[in-house]
Amino acid sequence: MKKILIAILLFFVGIYFLLNTYFSDIQINRYDNLQQVKEDKAIEKGWVPALIPPSAYDIEETHDIDTNQLFGRFYYKKKDEETLMNALSSFPENNGTYTGKSFLFKINTEKQMVRYRNRPIQ
């Protein structure tokens, strides 16, 4: 009897995780350049920050509609680095983290890569 109860429990746990994964509201979008971001209206939807530089490329964003969490990454050309850095403010609580409007940014100037996420609601 105990084995049957364990088997039933495992079955329902498995079904739960299967359905949760299958019906997840997580969406991943990839864009080659800023023009594609604009065509998809990803900035207007709040999925990509408005301060993304004109030279941005290999842009990726992941958002979860259920939890309102958003993560993204893009690369930029060196010529836009100064303008990008001037648009951001240092975020004192986290070393190397910058803020710009409703996003947090981590910038790797060696790779000219930016990782971003939406700011947690406080």
For 20-58, what is each residue's pLDDT tens digit? Answer: 666 667 888 999 999 999 999 999 998 999 999 999 999
Residue 31: which residues within 8 A CB-CB, separation 6 or more? 37, 40, 42, 59, 60
Q: Which residue has the higher pLDDT, 4 or 57?
A: 57
Q: Indicate the pLDDT class of residue 121, thresholds 50, 70 and 90.
A: low
Q: Do 68 and 91 contact (CB within 8 A), yes or no?
A: no
Instruction: Find the mean pLDDT for residues 94-102.
Output: 79
What CA–CA distance (Å, rounded) separates 28 from 68? 13
pLDDT attached to residue 113? 95
Instruction: Find the mean pLDDT for residues 101-116.
Output: 91
pLDDT over 60 (residue 122): no
CA dihedral over 83, 86, 88, 92, signed as positive or negative: positive
